[in-house]
Amino acid sequence: MTDMLKEFKQSILISLWFVFLTFPLMVVRVNTTESLVEWRWMNMVWVALGSFILSYLWRYMLARQQARKKVADSGLEKQSKVTLLLEDATFRYRAMAVLLVLALIFPLAFDTYQSTIMISALIYVVLGLGLNITVGLAGLLDLGYVAFFAVGAYSYALLNHHFDLGFWTVLPLGGILGCLFGIILGFPILRLRGDYLAIVTLGFGMIVKIVLENWSDFSFGPSGIAQIDRPGLFGIDMDLAGSTIYIYYIMIAMVVFTILVTMRLRNSRIGRAWIALREDEIACVAMGIDMARTKLSAYALGAFWAGMVGVLFAAKTTFINPASFTFMESAIILSIVVLGGMGSILGVILGAFILILLPEYMRAFSEYRMLAFGAAMVLMMIFRPQGIISNIRQKYEYKGLQKETDNG
């Protein structure tokens, strides 16, 4: 009871402090046209009430977190049904199957505008899964991931503009070029880690954007490249609605392909090497794992998906310029991985849907979109740092000796 009263008093003091700080902005308004000063006292009431509720909830959630931590340290913690369900591999596969069925019938139930929004979300799903290889599995921070996205988009735009190459021809070439740029980035940073790694990858992304903006003879500069061909289907002419549905199903196929390959990679020998590298680089090298090859493969394979989806992005928009590949895009893709859960495939999918679809369907609050985005990330890092769906570490058990003992 004493603790609750103390928290109550602290919340009241915080609300009064917020009222004092926001008083000139929220209460006082000068009407220069009529030379009057308007006093908006209700705004002060809302600020006081909102700050009190948020402060009390914040303290309550922190107290619950501390209590759960004490129970976990004592070894008496019982996992909730939701946590057990999310950690069940069968449930995850069923959830992804349900999402696939819903995705297949989506363009049949909604209009072209909704399908266009969903294509954008699926593009970020593939980008998130690609970055999940580099950041989530290998633990290599990449703040310039959008550069590989730009390489794929410009590879299709330039080859289509100069040589009239089609979408299906350039799609694998975009992935290969992204893969090569991933290797180019990986070589200089083999011995870097932490903040230094983040700075170099950030610089790489900025260099690519600056080159695209200023090398007008090559990339057409800030004016960009227009009239890029959409994907073709055996020479059939399609209107905008038909082309949008066609691109949508191509994107669905690319997402499924990315999930299957990522799952196989995660459970393979190179995938286990990435996880070992993420956990402890020194111990990884001491166990005989080739650090250079492991890091290069993580950057190359992560960049491969960005290059491929960049080709589809250029075909979808039919126009690209350097303004589409800013640092903010890299930050959003990284936020998708962190919010969903590093290393978790289903978590990255849900994170992409949350961060891409919610802003589209909440345009009435567009002025506060970035504020809500930052607040959500802060809350996630404090109360659920492992993400929406945490990655489950697989256990490998050898039972051969036990069988031999039983037979003997």
Q: Is 208 exposed, middle or buried (0-12, 13-18, 19+ CB in 10 A)?
A: buried
Co-location of 39 and 114 in the same domain: no
Are residues 61 and 150 part of one domain? no
Shared-domain flag, residues 116 and 25:
no
Q: Is residue 388 part of a domain?
A: no
Please state the length of the chain.
Answer: 408
407 within a domain of the structure (yes/no): no
The answer to whether position 21 is within a domain reads yes
Report the pLDDT averaged over residues 16-39: 78
Residue at 399 is within a domain: no
Neighbours of 5 (CB within 10 A): 9
Task: Name 95's Cβ contacts closer than 8 Å, sequence gap at least 6.
Answer: 346
Q: What percent of the chain has pLDDT over 90?
A: 22
Q: Which domain holds residue 225?
A: 83-383
Q: Where are the beta strands (DSSP E) in 15-88?
A: 28-31, 36-39
Q: How confident is the model at residue 87 (pLDDT cuts 50, 70, 90)?
A: low
On whether residue 395 sits in a domain, the answer given is no
Does residue 404 belong to any structural domain of this protein? no
**How high is the mean pLDDT of the chain?**
82
Is the distance from CB of 303 to CB of 179 less than 8 angstroms?
yes
Domain-terminating residue out of 44, 74, 104: 74
Shared domain check, 88 and 52 = no
pLDDT digits (tens, 9 = 90+) for 135-173: 888 888 888 899 999 999 999 999 998 888 889 999 999
Q: How far is CA 39 from the centre of its chain?
A: 44
Q: And the tokens for 77? A: 């913690």
pLDDT tens digit sequence for 109-136:
888 888 899 999 999 999 999 999 988 8
Give the mean pLDDT of 277-292: 84
pLDDT attached to residue 124: 94
Asked if 32 and 107 sit in the same domain, the reply is no
In angstroms, the CA 62 to CA 99 distance is 34
pLDDT over threshold 60, residue 81? no
> Quick check: is 396 in a domain?
no
Structure tokens, 321: 């310029």
Residue 207 and residue 62 share a domain: no
390 inside domain: no
Closest CA to 347 of 70, 141, 91, 169: 91
Quote the CA–CA distance of 201 and 135 in Å, as a whole number. 12
Are residue 68 and residue 87 in the same domain, yes or no?
no
Residues 187, 285 share a domain? yes
Whether residue 353 sits in one domain with residue 318? yes
Q: Collapse the DSSP code of 31 into the 3-class scheme (helix H, G, I; strand E, B; otherwise coil) and give the result.
A: strand
> How confident is the model at residue 250, as a pLDDT?
92
Report the share of the chain in percent with pLDDT over 70: 87
What count of other Cβ atoms lies within 10 Å of the Cβ of residue 30? 10
Is there a single domain that holds both residue 201 and residue 169?
yes
What whole-number distance in Å separates Cα of residue 167 and Cα of residue 145? Answer: 22
pLDDT at residue 142, as a whole number: 86
- Say whether both 23 and 165 belong to one domain: no
Secondary structure E strands in 147-294: 225-226
Please tell me the predicted confidence (pLDDT) of residue 89. 63
Q: Which of 89-103, 156-170, 208-222, 277-291 has the lowest mean pLDDT?
A: 89-103
289 contacts 276 by C-beta, under 8 angstroms: yes
pLDDT band at 255 (very low <50, low <70, confident <90, very high): very high
Predicted local confidence at residue 72, as pLDDT = 61
Alpha-carbon torsion, ordered 329, 331, 336, 342, to 10 deg: 140
356: CATH:
1.10.3470
Contact 348, 132 (CB under 8 A): yes
Is residue 311's pLDDT more than 80?
yes
- Asked whether residue 386 carries a pLDDT value surpassing 80, the answer given is no
Number of separate domains in the chain: 2
What are the pLDDT digits (tens) for 361-370?
Answer: 777 666 667 7
Written as six digits, the tokens of 287 are: 């166990």
pLDDT in tens, 189-199: 877 777 788 88
Same domain, 31 and 168: no
